[in-house]
Amino acid sequence: MVNTGKHSILLVEDDESLGYLLSEYLKMKGFEITRVKSGSEALTSMESSIFQLAILDVMMPEMDGFTLASKIKSHFPELPFIFLTAKSLKIDVLKGFSLGAVDYLKKPIDEEELVVRITILLSRLAPKELLDSRSLASCTIGAYFFDVINQQLKCRDSVVKLTSRETELLQLLVENKNQLCSHKDILVTIWGKNDYFNRKSLNVFISHLRKHLSQDSSIKIENIHRKGFVLFVNK
């Protein structure tokens, strides 16, 4: 599967051999790759260049991948990232998703699988300029104004900037407000796969949305046990 869209990817990998092999393989598959060897180099690159995706090694000296991910969420919230790591314990995987990762790949890496996963992720993470072609561009949710195009939630004098994943999830819930959205439908539509780790990631993003919508008590995102979620709007 070759990507011809020239997506720009930041690869953060301190292992010289693996970094070189992955960088060259992804370039061969049509991606534009910027490879750096540390978290500080990665942050510098993000300040000067625009990337569609970041691939982060977890075990790096000075600044590990989890710390780097936290900084990305604070300073570059629109940049999706995936973890590439030998740390395969469940607690590490869940920590990765709780930080906002869109995928978590375990070493040793199958290069073909990596390309497939990247291509699927990039196809789902549609550029902001394409969002206006979807059915919902903006709407009110109780006391909030949901600006899908600019990925914002506005309530009175406050404005919350949403991530791309938060925007997608809230958009799906709004389009089906007061109706059940099953776990499977949400995960397949937004994450592309219904599995254990994506369900955990979904729960994290639901918690984010509940916090963002907490200024209006008439809005609730209810968990229907073993079935899915419902966005209840009483106004």
Residues 111 and 184 both lie in one domain: no
Q: Cis link prior to 77 (omega < 30° from 0)?
A: no
Residues 20 and 114 both lie in one domain: yes
Residues 163 and 194 both lie in one domain: yes
The CATH code of the domain that includes 172 is 1.10.10.10
pLDDT value of residue 2: 38
pLDDT value of residue 232: 95
Residues 108 and 134 both lie in one domain: no
- Give me the phi and psi of 24, to 5 degrees please: -70, -40
pLDDT value of residue 90: 76
Q: Which of 125, 142, 175 is the last residue of a domain?
A: 125
Q: What is the number of structural domains in the chain? A: 2
For residue 170, give its domain range. Answer: 129-233
- Would you give per-residue pLDDT tens digits along the chain (235 residues)? 333 346 889 999 999 999 999 999 999 999 999 999 999 999 998 887 878 899 999 888 889 999 999 998 888 877 889 998 876 677 878 888 888 888 888 888 888 888 988 888 887 765 444 444 445 678 899 999 999 888 899 998 899 999 888 999 999 999 889 999 999 889 888 887 788 888 888 999 999 999 999 999 999 999 998 899 999 998 6
Q: Which helix (H) or strand (E) holds 21?
A: helix 16-28
Strand partners, 207: none
Q: Is 1 contained in some domain?
A: no
- Whole-number Cα distances in Å, 129 to 91, 134, 145, 151, 225: 36, 11, 19, 11, 36
Q: Is 194 contained in some domain?
A: yes
Q: Which of 75, 101, 125 is the last residue of a domain?
A: 125
- How far is residue 221's CA from residue 209's CA, in Å, rounded to a whole number? 8
Q: Is 2 contained in some domain?
A: no
Residues 156 and 212 both lie in one domain: yes
- How far is residue 71's CA from residue 200's CA, in Å, rounded to a whole number? 22
Check if the beta carbon of residue 202 is closer than 8 Å to that of residue 170. no
Q: Is 110 contained in some domain?
A: yes
Residues 144 and 220 both lie in one domain: yes
Residues 156 and 226 both lie in one domain: yes
Check if the beta carbon of residue 83 is closer than 8 Å to that of residue 41. no
pLDDT value of residue 143: 93
Q: Which of 110, 125, 140 is the last residue of a domain?
A: 125
Residues 44 and 60 both lie in one domain: yes
Residues 23 and 43 both lie in one domain: yes
- How far is residue 159's CA from residue 20's CA, in Å, rounded to a whole number? 42
Q: Is 85 left (phi over 0), alpha (psi -120 to 50) or beta?
A: beta
Q: What is the pTM of this model?
A: 0.55
Residues 14 and 120 both lie in one domain: yes
Residues 121 and 152 both lie in one domain: no
The CATH code of the domain that includes 35 is 3.40.50.2300
The structure tokens 């990247």 sit at: 118
Reported as a single tens digit per residue, the pLDDT across 93-108 is 888 888 888 888 888 8
Axis crossing angle, helix 196-212 with helix 164-175, rounded to the nearest 10: 80
Q: Is 136 contained in some domain?
A: yes
pLDDT value of residue 5: 47
Q: Is 3 contained in some domain?
A: no
pLDDT value of residue 136: 64
Residues 14 and 121 both lie in one domain: yes
- How far is residue 161's CA from residue 168's CA, in Å, rounded to a whole number? 13
Reported as a single tens digit per residue, the pLDDT across 106-136 is 888 888 888 988 888 887 765 444 444 445 6
Q: Is 81 contained in some domain?
A: yes
Q: Is 103 contained in some domain?
A: yes
pLDDT value of residue 171: 92
- Whole-number Cα distances in Å, 169 to 79, 92, 210: 16, 24, 12
Q: Which helix (H) or strand (E) holds 119?
A: helix 111-124
pLDDT value of residue 235: 62
Check if the beta carbon of residue 83 is closer than 8 Å to that of residue 65. yes
pLDDT value of residue 104: 85
pLDDT value of residue 88: 66
